[in-house]
Amino acid sequence: MSPIKCAQFGLGPIGIASLQLVAERAGMEIVGAIDIDPTKAGRPVAEVAGLKSESGRVFESFAALREAAGRIDVVLHTAGSDVNATLGQIEPMVRAGVSVATTCEPMLFPALTAPEGAAALDAACRAGGARVVGTGVNPGFVMDLLPVVLTAVTRRVDRIFARRVVDASTRRGPLQKKVGSGMEPATFRERFAAGKAGHAGFRESAALVASCLGWPTHDIRETCEPVVAEAAIQTDHFSVKPGQTRGLHQIVEVFDGSRQVIELDLTMALAEPNPHDLVRVEGDPVIEFEARAGVAGDTATVASLVNVVPRLLAATPGLKLMTDLGSGVAAR
């Protein structure tokens, strides 16, 4: 069997880590990468990503990569959280018959905020014989796919509750910035209200769960408040003074009429003392799952992205949800 030919779109920390994991997989081959950074374009992928084997070069566009690489089976897309920008980047790929797994958070359930774009991408996938899925750890697993999986052994589901607490001090610099590290609390609130701060894809996680359980998705309510530092905090990326923002506390709720059926509660903050993930399915029976140290975000995101590839390529063409593809295991 010939190896799966993979290309990487976006060479930030997650993109580099995904290339490094693909390089470990016997059934996958890296054929090149795409990044608009002029300091990376034209260089060997192995040099940029610290790989030992030849893996093609970095190009500034998909068209240039495809011309040089020939056959590409899948693109691993790790280039931002803007759903409309991502749809535009992905469309030429699927029209060329190339499937895409993306970590763009709203792509977990793109019909929620970009229904027309999602429908157009689905049509393009079917025309080109390609597939697309949005994946990751959150969204993509902890607060959406995992709750849905746990309902498989229930007779009745009344409510879903999930809590995720993340010590952002252990995470990459861009995530520490995203949660508002070092920002004045008032500024953080203003930025969240303007859609420029907060955890992206959280509403999509709730919508995916609701959709799978047959609950409505039109009444989704979201709040977000800064978590304020009581003492000085120093990380490799930020210095936070007392009174400044060290992270966020974000909640999404789904209502079916007057009844709250889903509550997702997320805290991501520097120096958070008790990181963990908890999912509770309330019904018959009640099922509660807890990962006491939490699921490691950056590592798990990369694993989810790479592990989904064989299942994605085995699926019928179209825009897919993680719940369409079943669960998978890492290659041995």
Predicted confidence (pLDDT) per residue in 134-189, tens digit:
999 999 999 999 999 999 999 999 999 999 999 998 888 888 888 999 999 999 99
Fold of 4-136+300-325: Rossmann fold (3.40.50)
**Adjacency order of strands within the sheet including 4-9:** 58-59, 28-34, 4-9, 74-77, 99-102, 131-134, 318-320
d(CA 4, CA 30) in angstroms, rounded, equals: 8
Angle at 91 between CA 145 and CA 196, to 5 degrees: 60
Residue pair 283/124 in contact by the 8 Å Cβ criterion: no
> Which regions of the chain are under pLDDT 50?
331-332
Where are the chain's structural domains? 4-136+300-325, 145-294
d(CA 56, CA 319) in angstroms, rounded, equals: 28
CATH class entry, domain 145-294: alpha beta
Amino acid code (one letter) for 209: V
Whole-model pTM?
Answer: 0.93
Q: How high is the pLDDT of residue 329? A: 52
Q: How high is the pLDDT of residue 327? A: 61
> Which residue's structure tokens are 């597939």?
131
DSSP string, 166-233: EEGGGS-HHHHHHTTTT--HHHHHHHHHTTSSS-TTHHHHHHHHHHHHT--SS-EEEEEEEEEPSS-E
Amino acid code (one letter) for 100: V
Closest to 283 measured CA to CA, from 192, 144, 153: 153
Q: How far is CA 24 from CA 13, 15, 67, 215, 272, in A?
A: 17, 15, 26, 41, 33
Could you give the residue ranges of the DSSP H alpha helices within the chain? 13-24, 45-49, 62-69, 83-95, 115-128, 145-150, 173-178, 185-193, 202-213, 297-307, 309-314, 322-325
Q: Are strands 4-9 and 74-77 parallel, antiparallel or unpaired?
A: parallel
